[in-house]
Amino acid sequence: MPDIIFATSNAHKVQEVAAMLGVPWQVQGLKAYPHVQLPEETGTTFEANAILKAEAASAALPGVYVIADDSGLEVDALNGEPGVYSARYAGPDATDADNRVRLKAELSKLPPATFTGRFHCCLVLAKEGQTLHVTHGAVEGNLRLEEQGIGGFGYDPLFQPDGFADTFGVLPAEVKNQLSHRARALAEMKAWMEANLR
């Protein structure tokens, strides 16, 4: 199978995708390609942002298959926020911890309830600046007001997937990689790539 460039500098995401794709796929992030600059995420949907990144990176890396994702947390009680702003919910230079603090603060303003929501992921495969395939994945769950665990990244310590008593901050990577939004989008993408790429 051809090598895949995952259009991110986030080492966590590269490791996740490499683990999920498994052998014989070889996955690299953009740290090895410092000349590739991803465009600003100006889209209003996950798909629009993923297409922007995949097409720009694949145009800058001729002959290479590129996957880009845009993903985030949608909380029903917050009308779908933080959504496409998940990575910068607390500001443009926000850390994961900053974003969790803001989310907890926003939820604390609401009447006590079970806060339902989901992680949503869109993956886009591109080559030579052209989109080849798009997939989506989601995992439903509830948001906690207190963090549990230090595993994963982003909002993981606050998100308890349906059917589990613990958050993604506690659940082992093998479990998360089977049911996460990225895993579900990637399973569809992997099936398409195995059928269409050689």
Show which residues are catalytic: 70
- Residue 174's Cβ-count burial label (10 Å; 0-12, 13-18, 19+) is exposed
Task: Name the burial class of residue 64, with classes exposed (0-12), middle (13-18) and buried (19+) by CB atoms within 10 angstroms of its CB.
Answer: middle
Question: How far apart, in Å, are the Cα atoms of 148 and each of 10, 74, 81, 87?
Answer: 23, 19, 21, 20
Q: How far apart are CA 75 and CA 115, in angstroms?
A: 7
| Listed residue (160, 182, 139, 140) closest to 6, CA to CA | 182
The burial class, CB within 10 Å (0-12 / 13-18 / 19+), for 36 is middle
Question: What are the tokens at 98?
Answer: 């900053």
- Amino acid letter, residue 120: H
What are the tokens at 125?
A: 């495969």
